[in-house]
Structure 1
Amino acid sequence: MIYAATTRIAEGALRLRARLSRSDSLRERLVGGAPPAAADIWVHGASVGELTSARPIIEALASDLRLIVTTNSETGRDMVAGWGLSARLAPLDLPGALDRFLNAVTPALQITLENEFWPLRSRLLGQRGIAQAMIGARMSQRSATLWARLPGVIQPMLQRLAAVSAQDGHSEARLLQLGLPQAALLPRLDLKLLTPARIAPPEDNALRDRTLLAASTHEGEEAAVLDAWMAARREHPDLRLILATRHPQRGDEVAALIVARGLPLARRSAGAAATTDPLLLADTLGEMDRWYAQAGICLVGGSLTDRGGHTPWEPAAHRCAILTGPHVGNFLDAYAALTEAGAARQVSAGDLAAILAALRADPAVARRMGRAARDVLDDRTGAPGALVDRLRDLAQRPARSDMKGR
Structure 2
Amino acid sequence: MIYAATTGLAEAALRVRARLGGSESLRERLVSGPAPARADLWVHGASVGELTSARPVIEALAADQSVMVTANSETGRDMALGWGLPARLAPLDMPGALRRFLDAVQPRLQLTMENEFWPLRSRLLAERGIRQAMIGARMSQRSASLWARLPGVIGPMLRRISALSAQDPYSEARLRQLGLPEAAILPRLDLKLLTPAQVRPSPDSAARDLTLLAASTHEGEEAMILEAWLAARRIHADLRLILAIRHPRRGDEVAALIAAQGLTAARRSEGAAGGPLLLADTLGEMEIWYRQAGLCLVGGSLTDRGGHTPWEPAAHRCAILHGPHVGNFTDAYAALGAADAAREVTAESLATEIANLTGAPAAARRMGSAARHLLEQRAGDPAALVAHLRSLAIAPSEPDIDGMMTRDSS
The TM-score bracket by the shorter chain reads over 0.9
Residue 174 of structure 1 corresponds to which residue in structure 2?
A: 174
Equivalent residue letter for 2:211: T
Equivalent residue letter for 1:132: Q
Residue 330 of structure 1 corresponds to which residue in structure 2?
A: 328
Deviates more, 1:348-357 or 1:104-113: 348-357
CA distance in 1, matches of 2:43, 2:359: 50
Equivalent position SS for 2:117: coil
1:382 aligns with one of 380, 383, 403: 380
Per the TM alignment, residue 397 of structure 1 is displaced from its structure 2 partner at its CA by 6.3
Residue 268 of structure 1 corresponds to which residue in structure 2?
A: 268
CA distance in 2, matches of 1:334, 1:220: 24
Q: Which runs of 4+ in 1 moved over 4 A?
A: none
Per the TM alignment, residue 142 of structure 1 is displaced from its structure 2 partner at its CA by 2.2
Per the TM alignment, residue 258 of structure 1 is displaced from its structure 2 partner at its CA by 0.8
Q: Summarize deviations over 1:350-383 as a string: whole Å, max 9, x none.
A: 2111111111121111111000011111111222
Residue 50 of structure 2 corresponds to which residue in structure 1?
A: 50
Q: Summarize deviations over 1:25-80 as a string: whole Å, max 9, x none.
A: 00000001111111111000111111111111111111111110000111211121
Residue 218 of structure 1 corresponds to which residue in structure 2?
A: 218
Equivalent position SS for 2:107: coil
Equivalent residue letter for 1:31: V
CA distance in 2, matches of 1:149, 1:241: 54
Alignment of 1:205-354 (within 5 A): 205-274=205-274, 277-354=275-352
Per the TM alignment, residue 242 of structure 1 is displaced from its structure 2 partner at its CA by 0.5
CA distance in 2, matches of 1:263, 1:141: 50
Equivalent residue letter for 1:229: W
Per the TM alignment, residue 156 of structure 1 is displaced from its structure 2 partner at its CA by 1.4
Residue 72 of structure 1 corresponds to which residue in structure 2?
A: 72
| Contact in 1 for aligned 2:31/2:97 (Cα 8 Å) | yes
Structure 2: where are the runs of 5+ without partners?
397-410
Residue 124 of structure 1 corresponds to which residue in structure 2?
A: 124
Equivalent residue letter for 2:135: I
Equivalent position SS for 1:162: strand
Equivalent position SS for 2:394: coil
Equivalent residue letter for 2:137: A
Residue 103 of structure 1 corresponds to which residue in structure 2?
A: 103
Equivalent position SS for 1:176: helix
Equivalent position SS for 2:317: coil
Equivalent position SS for 1:21: coil
Per the TM alignment, residue 384 of structure 1 is displaced from its structure 2 partner at its CA by 0.9
- Work out whether 1:82 is the aligned partner of 2:64: no
CA distance in 1, matches of 2:258, 2:286: 20
CA distance in 1, matches of 2:331, 2:166: 15
Deviates more, 1:106-115 or 1:389-398: 389-398
Per the TM alignment, residue 118 of structure 1 is displaced from its structure 2 partner at its CA by 0.9
CA distance in 2, matches of 1:138, 1:349: 36
Residue 139 of structure 1 corresponds to which residue in structure 2?
A: 139
Per the TM alignment, residue 237 of structure 1 is displaced from its structure 2 partner at its CA by 2.0
Per the TM alignment, residue 333 of structure 1 is displaced from its structure 2 partner at its CA by 2.0
Residue 151 of structure 1 corresponds to which residue in structure 2?
A: 151
The one of the two structures with greater contact order (alpha-carbon pairs below 8 A, sep at least 6) is 2
Q: Summarize deviations over 1:262-299 as a string: whole Å, max 9, x none.
A: 1112100001112xx11100011111111001111111
CA distance in 1, matches of 2:231, 2:94: 62
Q: Summarize deviations over 1:120-148 as a string: whole Å, max 9, x none.
A: 11111111111000011112222222222
Q: Summarize deviations over 1:310-332 as a string: whole Å, max 9, x none.
A: 11111111100011112222222
**Identity, % of aligned positions:** 75
CA distance in 2, matches of 1:159, 1:330: 33
Equivalent position SS for 2:266: coil
CA distance in 1, matches of 2:287, 2:27: 40
Equivalent position SS for 1:395: helix
CA distance in 2, matches of 1:194, 1:51: 12
Residue 19 of structure 1 corresponds to which residue in structure 2?
A: 19
CA distance in 2, matches of 1:15, 1:337: 51
| Contact in 1 for aligned 2:190/2:380 (Cα 8 Å) | no
CA distance in 2, matches of 1:221, 1:18: 50
- Work out whether 1:7 is the aligned partner of 2:14: no
Q: Summarize deviations over 1:201-256 as a string: whole Å, max 9, x none.
A: 11111111111101011122112211221222222222111010111111111111
CA distance in 2, matches of 1:147, 1:251: 47
Structure 1: where are the runs of 5+ without partners?
399-406
CA distance in 2, matches of 1:342, 1:287: 28
Per the TM alignment, residue 175 of structure 1 is displaced from its structure 2 partner at its CA by 1.4
CA distance in 1, matches of 2:92, 2:198: 34
TM-score, normalised via structure 2 length: 0.94
CA distance in 2, matches of 1:389, 1:362: 44
CA distance in 1, matches of 2:57, 2:191: 9
CA distance in 2, matches of 1:61, 1:311: 27
Alignment of 1:194-209 (within 5 A): 194-209=194-209
CA distance in 2, matches of 1:305, 1:174: 34
CA distance in 1, matches of 2:395, 2:209: 49
Per the TM alignment, residue 8 of structure 1 is displaced from its structure 2 partner at its CA by 1.1
CA distance in 2, matches of 1:348, 1:394: 51
Aligned residues: 396
